[in-house]
Structure 1
Amino acid sequence: MSDPNASAGPAFWEDGELGYRRSLTDFADRPLMLDEPYRLAHLPLVAPDHPRVIARQEGRSYEMGVHPPIFSLVLPVDSALLSGSEPFQRLHAEMRAAPFAAKIAWDILPRRSERLHATLCGTLSTGEAPSIDDGTRQALARIEPFAVDLRGPFSGNVNRGRIYLRVYPEKRDGLNPIHAVQAAFGRPPGDLYLVGLYNLTDDLDASETAALAEIIARWWDVSLLRFEVTELWLLGACDDLVLDSQIADRLALRADAPISATPLRP
């Protein structure tokens, strides 16, 4: 007799255990207005002539959206796998046809396609790439490759104007492998793993905000892509959209693991 669980896919952490619901934009509050962090770090890159651009700010290193190189540990997302996903194709078509579509910086997408990622450990160093010591590399090599379920879209309560996809990591023996990655770098466990995708070029009016809220609600539980993570990137960038970026290092999980993401069956 065959094992009824033999073809079962991985289990994933869910909303009650992660921070997406807690951090969602409050769409009932008012029309979506680009917030200050977005107008400082993102708007200068997608709509530099917008009157609400914050070109610079005392105590911050941004100058029209550009800053000294910052290196972070990220979970890469293969844009070819994502683009080939039928659910994502349907979502993307809806975004193209949405009432607010004219306010999305579509020209940015191909410029970022090879650097799609979710940040796991931000700002490991500034200026020069950090040196990853042997202990950290060994800790990563002990972590098994793990599956993630990519869902979306998502608009948060910070950086209002950026629309993300959400990463749901595999639950393995009750543990979150992303927490193990963060612990290897001495970072506390996080519960938000966001893949920045779409960027707005202007505030939304009430009807446009309602349309975005409706799309987010309807697509909330839809799996766009499942794949196995076998490596992480040390990514350096001079802007928050990683338009000017470099992969300083590729860090493999489990020393004998391959280094390319593999799509999984839902």
Structure 2
Amino acid sequence: MSDPEASAASIGLTFCADGELGYRRSLTDFAQAPLILDEPYRLAHLPLVAPNHPRVIARQEGRAYEMGVHPPVFSLVLPIDGARLAASEPFQQLDAEMRAAPFAPRIAWDIPPRRSDRLHATLCGTLSTGDAPVISDDARRALARIEPFAVDLRGPFSGNVNRGRIYLRVYPEKRDGLNPIHDVQAAFGRPPGDLYLVGLYNLTDDLDASETAALAEIIARWWDVSLLRFMVTDLWLLGARDDLVLDSQITETLSLRADERCSPEALQP
């Protein structure tokens, strides 16, 4: 396992630290074992991965979900190259551990291949519903002023909302002491966020106490491990009819300002 801080220093990059992001604050409280799928997950995710589960919430008053499907929602997202991630040796090691873990039978293993070309971290959620949003000229000009920036992808992560989904974590480069994702969010009139999660694995059932402990141990041991480092040069306007983006479309690719500062190879830990 590589040391992301040492690797970053070797190529002159600094990434946002845990104290500047919300991952620790939003982590599942594993002391409250076992891990029980929460209501948001049973409404939005469980119908897609285990539709016959008795605790599926098929629909809910005031929510647009119907067995995990809803009207199209369009968001601005940071794309993750699924092929490059799959080729990463640290990720291959992590995935092998997940497949050998006691809770592995409770993971919907058919889901990751179905969404490998849509992996992303949401930066500005729900820009519009139904029809794709019209991106203003001001927003486009603001994006064009933002230079491409590096991110370090680490993981895994289980949050205090959507318990049942296991993510990877995005750590953005610090540029002049600032987080460039905040500039992206400001371009769309959004407040600065501190959680940039890449959904990867989905549970099909609750975990028992020993399975929960095994997941907590893997998360702790892999917390500081860099899985993939790359430059963000483009963002997607992504529309989806479900929260796993199984039924989705990339309606537009929005480019940041051209920058030849680093090659992808130079960023690898």
TMscore range, shorter length: over 0.9
User: What's 2:149 paired with?
Assistant: 146
Structure 1 residue 257: deviation in Å?
4.9
Aligned mates of 1:195, 1:257 — CA distance in 2 = 25
> How far apart are 1:8 and its partner, in Å?
2.5
Conserved 8 A contact 1:147-1:229: yes
Distance in 1 separating the partners of 2:112 and 2:152: 21
Secondary structure of 1:233's partner?
strand
Q: Kindly provide the CA deviation profile for residues 93-127 of structure 1, in whole angstroms up to 9, marking residues without a partner as x.
A: 00000000000000011110000000000000000
Distance 2:232 2:65 in 1: 32
Matching residue's letter, 1:105: A
Alignment match of 1:90 (pick from 90, 93, 112)? 93
Check the 8 A contact 1:12/1:149 in 2, yes or no: yes
Partner of 2:196: 193
> How is 1:175-254 mapped onto 2 (pairs within 5 angstroms)?
175-254=178-257
* CA RMSD across the alignment: 1.4
Partner of 2:72: 69
- Separation in 1, partners of 2:239, 2:22: 26
User: Are 1:49 and 2:52 matched, yes or no?
Assistant: yes
1:131 pairs, out of 120, 131, 134, with: 134
SS of 1:52 mapped into structure 2: coil
Distance between the aligned counterparts of 2:220 and 2:16, measured in 1?
19
Give the Cα–Cα distance (whole angstroms) in 2 for the partners of residues 161 and 241 of structure 1. Answer: 13
SS of 1:152's equivalent in the other structure is strand
**Cα offsets for 1:28-59 (capped at 9, x unmatched):** 11200000000000000000000000000000
Q: State the Cα distance separating 1:7 from its structure 2 match.
A: 5.0
SS of equivalent residue, structure 1 residue 236: strand
CA separation of 1:108 and 1:190: change in aligned 2, threshold 3 A: same
SS in 2 for 1:163: strand
Query: Does the CA-based 8 Å contact 1:229-1:262 persist in structure 2?
Result: no
Stretch moving more, 8-17 or 141-150: 8-17
Say if 1:96 and 1:9 are closer, same or farther in 2 by CA, change over 3 A: farther
SS in 1 for 2:24: coil
Name the counterpart of 1:262: 264
Equivalent residue letter for 2:180: P
Is 1:79 aligned to 2:94, yes or no? no
Under a length normalisation based on structure 2, what TM-score does the superposition of the two structures give?
A: 0.94
Contact 1:95 1:101 survives alignment (8 Å): yes
Once residues 61 and 12 of structure 2 are traced to their aligned partners in structure 1, the CA distance between those partners, rounded to angstroms, is: 50
Counterpart selection for 2:20 from 17, 20, 25? 17
Task: Kindly tell me the number of residue pairs found equivalent between the two proteins.
Answer: 259
Say which SS state the counterpart of residue 228 (structure 2) adopts: strand
SS at match of 1:16: helix
* 2:177 counterpart of 1:174: yes
In structure 2, give the amino acid aligned to 1:160.
Answer: R
- Secondary structure of residue in 1 paired with 2:183: helix
Contact (CA 8 Å) 1:9, 1:265: kept in 2 or not? no
Residue number among 128, 139, 164 corresponding to 1:161 in the alignment: 164
SS at match of 1:21: helix
Aligned partner letter, 1:69: P
Matching residue of 1:99: 102
Equivalent of 2:116 in 110, 113, 117: 113
The residue type equivalent to 1:89 in the other structure is Q
CA apart distance, 1:10: 1.1
Normalised to the residue count of structure 1, the TM-score between the two structures is 0.95
